[in-house]
Amino acid sequence: MKVAIASDDGQSISPHFGRTEGFMIFDIEGKNVKGKEYRKNTFTGHMQGLEGEGHIQDKHQTIINALSDCKVVISNGMGRRLYDDLKMSGIEPIITTETRVQKALDLYINNELTDNPEMGCDHHHKEQECDH
């Protein structure tokens, strides 16, 4: 199973899902990490430069496609619409207060990572919803 964690530097969790530089992808088997990679973010609406109407129409499909091999996505914040879209696509979103990638991964592996969906963003950027 793969777990994606939004991170600009591979060490800390990015505070803005849609503007993260990339994702640490961990291949987990049981409680062991079997592999890891850093996947550059070229697919969120913010990173593609989509604003306004184009961002609304995006409907997060490029994010879902780019992370479709992951069962879980961990971040410090994301828009409520993205949170719901990930869930509907079979990807478990987790919004955490943890700021370190390794600590969040360890907590997740040990079934101790708490999801805080209320920390999601519900503000608007010039009439569109954010994807962080």
CA distance 84 to 21: 22
For residue 21, what are its two tokens?
């530089």
Query: C-alpha angle 33/60/27, rounded to 5°?
Result: 5
Judging by DSSP bridges, how do beta strands 124-125 and 128-129 pair with one another?
antiparallel
Could you tell me the pTM of the whole model?
A: 0.82
pLDDT for 84-127, tens place per residue? 999 999 999 999 999 999 999 999 999 999 999 887 654 444 33
Name the residue among 70, 76, 132 with its Cα closest to residue 101: 76
In this prediction, residue 82 has a pLDDT band, given cuts at 50, 70 and 90, of: confident
What's the distance, CA 50 to chain centroid?
18
What is 2-122's CATH number?
3.30.420.130
What element of type H or E holds 88?
helix 80-88
